[in-house]
Structure 1
Amino acid sequence: MLPKLPLDDRTYESILQEARQGIQRRLPEWTDENAHDPGMTMLELFAWISEMQQFYLSRVPDRNRRKFLELLGESPRQATSAAALASFDGIRETVRLPQGTKLLAEDQTFETASSTTLRPIAVDRIVTRTEREASDRTASNTQGDVAFYAFGADARTGSRLYVSFDREPPVGEPIELTILLAEEGAHGGPDAWHPIPYEGVAASWPAESAEAYAPPVIVPSAKVSWKGYALDEQTGASGWLPLDTLRDETLHLSFSGRVTIRLTAPLRPVLVHPANDRPRWWICCVLEEEGYEEPPRIDRILLHTALVVQRDTLSETIDYDVPEEGAVTLSADTYLSRYGLLRVQVREPDGRWREWREVPDTDVAGPEDRVFSVRMPSEGGAVILFGDGERGMRPQGGLGSARRIHADKTFADKRFIGRSNGLPMQRFTVYDLACRRRERFLLQVGIPGERAGEWLWEDWAPVENFDRSGPLDRHYTFDPDTCEIRFGNDERGAIPAACEEPNLCLVVCVLGGGERGNIKPNLLTGWVSEEQRSYGVTVANAGYGYGGAESESVGDCIARLQQRWHEPYRAVTDEDFAALAKSTPGLRVARVHVIPGYAPGRSDPVPHAVTVVAMPYSRQPTPKPSRGFLRTVARHLDERRLIGTEVHVIAPEYIKVTVHAVIVVEPQFAHETKRIAAVLNQLLSPSGSPKSAGGWPFGRPVYRGDVFAALSRIGGVAYVQDLWLDGEGRYASKSQGGDVLLPPNGLVFSGEHRIELLSRNQL
């Protein structure tokens, strides 16, 4: 049985239909589209030829497809590791977790993306205060199942969010608050944590998850400030003093993320209503400038958190720049630098690495001894100390001329994967090292040195294939699916030097990746290190793991690129402007309308101008974009417009439309006024309904006939006896026929409709 070929999804009929649709656009003078026309015969011929070409292209093997993708500068994506937010509790003393701290979620290993300091301090109470009310939100934050507004449902200027601690926090030390918003739609659900980086702030994304990711430039919609009730040393009085905001991933509480603040003065206990049972150490977030499209709703506020990535680092390298003068020390604070094995290498003038020997003290070494000593500080990883040239040799200065290699103790017997026999096209398979990415699997080839027991090591680089490799290029290929390593043939890629002992050594090996890392909440609960487990600190993931994906097949890569090529990148047509504006990174744009040849404030048409009307997503009846929202959309479009095009982004102009109607209904529907009003509210809505998100078209007049038709379709309505419309708002007017006219950027919303129902029995 012949295998089913992966034919293109475009059939002969679809190709022919697409060609026929282009006739009126490209050749309007061609009016005869019947089968007897010779032009139609040519279209059918070329459609058949196109289908045959696609058929033969479908028979091209994956190897050739990869070459075609390389010509486009693309390749199938490798597997990516999931990330999650780990929350720590039960902290009795200050603990510093190094980067790469290993945590367990059942059988999966996660590692912290950066170093984290845990201090014995906890969030005690949370209070929100507006002009109207003050509420204690501690229970909602503790349980995490009921979201609350940070600044009230209206988010007016001056509203405050108070957070207190169970003890006095240290002055000068950073305090990191993780704020999880109850986001919907574009930014995930309440159990997701997706930091949105913006200009000037880089979120701690794992490198593989940020592949091909350009951080969006977002102008904040509102502005907040952080203050603490502290002692003013200049005046000697206590009050709400500003705090240093070191980093704000939330973009003024617009997204979930972390806020890092630092106290500049000691906090003083104070009573804050309604949590006035005893004085506490309080900080507060003040809304200085309102403008949120959607007021922030907080799901959780956490104090001790860390971004963790699903991976298991078995070996890592850290390169250092060596100064030309002065003492040479190499310090590091990673998990493997504390609990793993250590090797130190120094680059030789020919580019190879020589491994140096560890001694208890370099003071007893001679000037020609290539040795180092290790000092273990109370906190942090091992510190490497070299000699000064008289008592122990000093490494040669230069960029990246010294290297630390750390390996897990369980990896000591697995790092040597074999020996080279000096023959071309050598292959090695590492079945027990299921690495999912090539750059996580780096090796060195060893060459015996001048003295017995000494080795010189050469760095070899992984490549996808040997097509661009020369005879002197130290390249190898690694297939993550088969775990096979291949070397060149001395024409395309060098051959490793032959050796009688194992001389192929892994210096970087990181396992992990794939969809299994997208774990459920509260599944990350274990520690790998016994020493860290003895701290008594508990850990759990506050939300779902996200971002983990399997490696991409060639077919999936082609399908992704085909879809991407249909997405506009340059704003040329009105459809391009609308699509690009709606896909502005970091924003939730609900609706877009493009007005060509129009510039705000000018009465005459401007041929080179384009005005884009953007409406944000919001639960409010009339979603209004802030200045930051409009500036963000404008900046996104400005980078993609044609030279000479003048782009303006404005807000919708809302017109309130009120319907006055006298309706004759069947007797059993004489009291259904609310049902009829609900139909009108759905019809005259800027954002539509959950079932129909279209909404009223921009700038389209509200004709009495539209309302007549909507009312007549309601069950139980016999006929509409009388109907008139009222419109309120800037630039709103009425025609002689009673229709409400809208400006080009106008949208309607419902007023208090006045509906009078008459039963047919009363007539």
Structure 2
Amino acid sequence: MLPRLSLDDRTYENILEDARRGIPKRMPEWTDENAHDPGMTMLELFAWMTEMQQFYLSRIPDANRRKFLDLLGFAPKEAASARAEASFGAIAAPVALPRGTKLKAKGETFETEEQVRLVPLSIERVVTRTEREASDMTASNAQGDVSYYAFGREAGRGSRLYIALDREPLLGQLVTLSVQLVNSDNLFGDRVVPSAKVSWKAYGLDEKTQQPGWLPLETYEDATVHLTYSGRITFFFESQLLPVIVHPANDRPRYWICCTLEEPGYEFPPRIDRLLLNTAMAEHRDTKSETLDFNGPGLSRWRLEADSYLGRYGDLRVQVREEDGRWREWRQVAGFDGAGPEDRCFTVETRADGARAVRFGDGVRGLAPPAGKGNVRRIHSDKTFGGQRWLGRSNGLPNQRFELFDLAVRRREELRLQVGEPGEKPGEWLWEDWLPVESFDRSGPLDRHFVYDREKGEIRFGNDENGAIPSVCAEPNICITVCVLGGGERGNIQPHLLTHWVLPEQRALGLAVTNAGYGSGGEEAESLSDCVERLQLELKRPFRAVTDEDYASIAKETPGLKVARVHVIPAYAPGRSAPSPGAVTVVVVPDNDQKTPMPSEGYLRTIAGHLDDRRLVTTEVHVIAPEYVEVTVHATVIVEPYFTEENERIVKALANMLRPLGGENGGWPFGRTVHRGDVYSAISRVNGVAYVQELWLEAAGRYARKSASGDVLLPPNGLVYSGGHRVELISRTQV
């Protein structure tokens, strides 16, 4: 008998009792709860059915749960790799590191995500300047333990951020600046409209006028969206830079670039952790084998270049796809002198930087690959991976299984196989690609699929009904072409641990490397129970804006923005006095620490674009800012004798109530009238208060109005904030 796995420990009696307790709340008109009532009979029936349902649900195995999740389009998430920003130093001359350069941090391997071009430049000084002051932030930027505001706390128009380079950049050189901001993730939406605009300039020589000055600096790429998010900015220096003195760095002239705030409007003034040059994103992974496909142009003497870490330092194989879809292995030769027009061969040419290019024949001496889309493939593998790439040979039987042994691949898509057959000539092989799938449920008898079981570390093939069977062979013919290790929480490293090079050839360059920030984002594979819980949340999550709650929920989840509060006003359009049945107005408040948080124009446009994709076709959506009304309380309060000096506590209680964000309920409700009775109640709850003798309210703002009874009236999108409250305390003994 299967063990009972209790998903719900409630018994029949518990379920029935819970239902009976809900009767007065849900149906107050139901007063007869005796056994003879037909309604009670129905409750008993459904309580019994619920208990039986829980009984059977407790006996559903994990395999069935996975099938149910698959029917809903869900599956447990695979392990995620952490990412860390590696910064390089001690650069004596320009150098290019290939994509996939391997670095070590406490035994964990990281790889650069792209090619890194390092230039002998470093940041020497950092200066911020506002209307009020100029500050040297060099020490804070170098140490990285104290953040600083790029444009001051107010981020006013014309504020500047100056960055001095230790030497003059070369003309036509691309320089990448990494900007690390406080609490600003760089995983933002592609449709974010910047709230503010900045311009970049460099002090140099104007070629037209031959006069020195601040010249526009072309930004090749700006992933920070005008210093709104952490990211990288790539500059292109097309003019000669000149040294100049910038206060307060007055000791000597330097080569300066300047960022000027042209249009203010930040919800969060940019606060910088670090500014770094010569950086690259590194991912927690260890690639053992990779494939790169290219379009064959059909040209003679074609030179195929592909620069990567394994492409430089690993083993190289070349395959060309035949007309029947199979890949034929070509052989490497030293030269084409002895090659004939039908010889499938290639040579390898090594550049000065170590990159290797593949050269094909001209049709007379060596065959040239035909033209085609993705028909030429380079396979790079680690030199230590030669024996591990062979899984074994196929015996032609269904449901074959092969173990991966020490290859702990964490993600299904990072494992690829080929199954080979001997060719016409001795030593020649023809290969077919096999793709990974989660299960064979959707695989037909001709589908070249395999299933990778991460927990068991094995690969399974089909049975010729669900998934094809690999071709039988007397030699090992199942080969791994793509294999990537790494991932999980072990990649979440602390700063300054990513300091070791894996390869001695790269270590010999004399470059220094470290990670100034944390490595983050590494997660273990999702468990089945966590996946079920995520599914339940996703099913409740709105994806189409129909009700007011839908609009509020979707607006709060706008990618790239932090939204504190949302208020939806149906049948209302700004500027129209009459109700608008087809209109919906959404009022948004950004999440920041200002007294009256105001969204910028870009902020409103970003949310409007996000809602526009999810609204009904006939709905007119407006996204607006709140209208703030300042409320000042004047009160004479009678208190106990020992509390005559405690008016700050009353002022604090009023400020806590009259605030747009925070407090017990998240802030003052939109459009709700500030009644004098609310203020009476807030003051009376303060310890030591006997009663309120006099009280009146003042309101200030564009739409501030008061009723005849002295209450403050708010517009539909109105919020309040505290003014300078004046509270007079009188001892109870003096009345």
Structure 1 contact 517–548 (Cα < 8 Å) conserved: yes
Q: 1:732 deviation in Å?
A: 1.3
**Is 2:543 aligned against 1:566?**
no
Query: Structure 1 residue 392 and structure 2 residue 366: aligned?
Result: yes
Contact 2:300 2:368 survives alignment (8 Å)? no
- Which residue does the alignment assign to 2:497? 523
- Which residue is 1:72 aligned to? 72
User: What amino acid maps onto 1:72 in structure 2?
Assistant: L
Q: After TM superposition, list the pairs within 5 Å mapping 1:351-750 onto structure 2.
A: 351-379=325-353, 381-689=355-663, 692=664, 694-750=666-722
TM-superposed CA distance for 1:255, in Å, is 0.9
Aligned mate of 2:33, from 28, 35, 43: 35
Q: 1:755 — aligned with what?
A: 727
Structure 1 stretch displaced more, 12-21 or 174-183: 12-21
Single out whichever of 47-56 and 580-589 deviates more from structure 2.
47-56
Do the aligned partners of 1:712 and 1:720 also contact (CA within 8 Å) in 2? yes
Per-residue deviation, residues 495-553 of structure 1 (Å, max 9, x unmatched) = 22222221111111111111111122222111101111112222222222222112223
Alignment match of 2:239 (pick from 245, 260, 265) = 265
- Taking the TM superposition and a 5 Å limit, the aligned residue runs for 1:56-67 are 56-67=56-67
Query: What amino acid is aligned across from residue 459 of structure 2 in structure 1?
Result: I
- Give per-residue Cα distances to partners, 1:451-474, cap 9 Å, x unaligned: 222211121111122222222222
- Once the two structures are TM-superposed, the CA of residue 283 in structure 1 deviates from its matched residue by 0.7
CA distance in 2, matches of 1:34, 1:363: 103
Contact 1:436 1:481 in 2 (8 A): no
Equivalents in 2 of 1:345, 1:693: separation in Å? 65
Q: Deviations over 1:682-714 (max 9, x none)?
A: 11111125xx46111111111111111111121
- Aligned partner of 2:120: which letter? P
1:210 aligns with none
1:324 shift after superposition: 2.8
Q: Identify if the C-alpha distance between structure 1 residues 566 and 48 changes in structure 2 by more than 3 Å, giving closer, same or farther.
A: farther
Q: Secondary structure of the residue that 1:362 maps to in structure 2? A: coil
Conservation of the 8 A alpha-carbon contact between 2:635 and 2:727? yes
How far, CA to CA, are the matches of 1:3 and 1:684 in structure 2? 58
Supply the distance in 2 between the matched residues of 1:751 and 1:18 (Cα, whole angstroms).
50
Distance 2:573 2:189 in 1: 29
Shift of 1:110: 0.6
What is the rounded CA distance, in whole Å, between the counterparts of 1:58 and 1:434 in structure 2?
A: 32
| Contact 2:321–2:376, Cα closer than 8 Å, also in 1 | yes
Query: Is 1:152 the counterpart of 2:152 in the alignment?
Result: yes
Structure 1 spans left out of the alignment, 5+ residues: 188-193, 200-216
Query: Does the 8 A contact of 2:298 with 2:368 survive in 1?
Result: no
Q: Confirm whether residue 347 of structure 1 aligns to residue 338 of structure 2.
A: no
Tell me whether 6-15 or 536-545 shows the greater mean CA deviation: 6-15
Q: How far apart are 1:196 and its partner, in Å? A: 2.7
Q: Which amino acid aligns with 2:29?
A: T
- 2:134 corresponds to: 134
How far, CA to CA, are the matches of 1:18 and 1:344 in structure 2?
A: 70
Q: Identity of paired residues, percent?
A: 62
Q: What SS does the aligned partner of 2:140 have?
A: helix
Aligned to 1:175: 175
Q: Within 1, Cα distance between the matches of 2:204 and 2:539?
A: 56
| Gapped regions of structure 2 (runs ≥ 5) | none
Q: CA deviation at 1:125?
A: 0.6
Equivalent position amino acid for 2:729 in 1? L
Cα deviation, 1:166-213, whole Å, max 9, x if unaligned, reads 000122222111111112xxx4xxxxxx323443xxxxxxxxxxxxxx
Question: The residue matched to 1:258 in structure 2 has which SS?
Answer: strand
Matched residue SS, 1:561: helix
Secondary structure of the residue aligned to 1:697 is coil
Q: Is the 8 A contact 1:33 1:40 kept in 2?
A: no
2:308 is aligned with 1:334: yes
Residue 311 of structure 1 pairs with residue 285 of structure 2: yes
Partner of 1:213: none
Asked if the contact 2:639/2:732 (under 8 Å) is kept, the reply is yes
Q: Is the 8 A contact 1:428 1:485 kept in 2?
A: yes
Q: Quick one: structure 1 residues 576 and 51, their matched pair in 2 at CA, closer, same or farther if it must change by over 3 Å?
A: farther
* Alpha-carbon offset, residue 39 of structure 1: 3.8
Q: 2: distance between equivalents of 1:20 and 1:607?
A: 40
Q: Distance in 2 between matches of 1:636 and 1:353?
A: 45
C-alpha displacement at 1:369, in angstroms? 1.4
Contact 1:197 1:249 in 2 (8 A): no
- Residue 47 of structure 1 and its aligned partner are, at CA, apart by 4.7
Q: 2: CA distance between counterparts of 1:519 and 1:721?
A: 61
Matches of 1:152 and 1:353 in 2, distance apart?
A: 61
Distance in structure 2 (CA, Å) of the matches to 1:40 and 1:118: 78
Letter in 2 for 1:64: N
SS in 2 for 1:439: helix
Partner residue of 1:196?
187
Tell me if structure 1 keeps the 8 A contact 2:300–2:360.
no
Q: Is the 8 A contact 1:16 1:47 kept in 2?
A: no
Distance 1:462 1:548 in 2: 23
Distance change (3 Å), C-alpha of 1:557 and 1:11: farther
Superposed displacement of residue 300, structure 1: 0.8
Residue 345 (structure 1) shift: 1.0
Structural RMSD (CA): 2.2
Spell out, residue by residue over 1:649-702, the C-alpha distance to the aligned partner (whole angstroms, 9 max, x if none).
11111001111111222333222232322222111111125xx46111111111
2:317 is paired with a residue whose SS is: strand
Residues paired across the two proteins, number: 732
1:81 partnered with 2:81: yes
In structure 2, the CA distance between the partners of 1:326 and 1:417, relative to structure 1 (3 Å rule), is: same
Which range moves more in the overlay, 692-701 or 341-350?
A: 692-701
3-state DSSP class of the match of 1:259? strand
C-alpha contact 1:102 1:527 (8 A) present in aligned 2 = yes
Q: Which SS does the other structure have where 1:591 is aligned?
A: strand
- SS across alignment from 2:146: coil
Counterpart of 1:53, as a letter, is Q
Secondary structure of the structure 2 residue equivalent to 1:250: coil
> CA 1:227–1:40 in structure 2 vs 1: closer, same or farther (change >3 Å)?
farther
Secondary structure of the structure 2 residue equivalent to 1:145: coil
1:388 shift after superposition:
0.6
Q: Report SS of the residue matched to 2:293.
A: strand
Checking the alignment, whether the CA contact within 8 Å between 1:660 and 1:755 is kept in structure 2 is: yes
**Is the 8 Å Cα contact of residues 267 and 590 (structure 2) preserved in structure 1?**
yes
The Cα shift of 1:488 comes to: 1.6
The TM-score normalised by the length of structure 2 is: 0.96
Q: Deviations over 1:401-459 (max 9, x none)?
A: 11111110111121112111222211111121111112211111121122222211121
Question: Once the 2 structures are TM-superposed, how far is the Cα of residue 9 of structure 1 from its aligned partner?
Answer: 8.9
Question: C-alpha separation between the residues in 2 aligned to 1:581 and 1:34?
Answer: 46
Q: Is 1:514–1:549's contact at 8 Å kept on the other side of the alignment?
A: yes
- Letter aligned with residue 66 of structure 1: R
Shift of 1:583: 1.6
Deviation at 1:21, TM superposition (A): 7.5
Distance 1:163 1:18 in 2: 68
How far, CA to CA, are the matches of 2:86 and 2:408 in structure 1?
25
Contact kept? 2:99, 2:115, Cα under 8 Å: yes
Kept in 2, the 8 Å contact 1:387–1:394? The answer is: yes
Point out the more displaced range, 480-489 or 100-109: 480-489
Alignment CA distance shift 1:107-1:762 (3 Å): same
- 2:179 & 2:119 partners in 1: Cα distance? 18
